[in-house]
Amino acid sequence: MKKTYKIEVDCANCANKMEEAAKKTEGVRDAVVNFMTLKMKVEFEEGSDPKQVMQAVLKNCKRVEDDCEIFL
């Protein structure tokens, strides 16, 4: 399953950090952050709960970029 989320981030480097943090989150098969459109596309592992996984993604992204936001 793939979903797209609106994000808020200050710079392209920060968006890159968010993408890497999302990719390392359990339940995420792949993630792509587009700084120009301020969107994050997430592909979830089979059988994972997107709501729970995205809470973990947000937590991991806040660790690397504390002022970022993902609108769930």
State the pLDDT at residue 31: 98
Supply the CATH number for residue 57's domain: 3.30.70.100
Number of structural domains the chain divides into: 1
State the pLDDT at residue 59: 97
State the pLDDT at residue 36: 96
- Domain residues for the domain of 51 are 2-71
State the pLDDT at residue 2: 97
Residue 48, judged by CB atoms within 10 A of its CB (0-12, 13-18, 19+), counts as middle
Whole-model pTM: value is 0.94
Spans in the chain with pLDDT lower than 70: none
State the pLDDT at residue 49: 97
Measured CA to CA, the distance from residue 45 to residue 36 in angstroms comes to 26
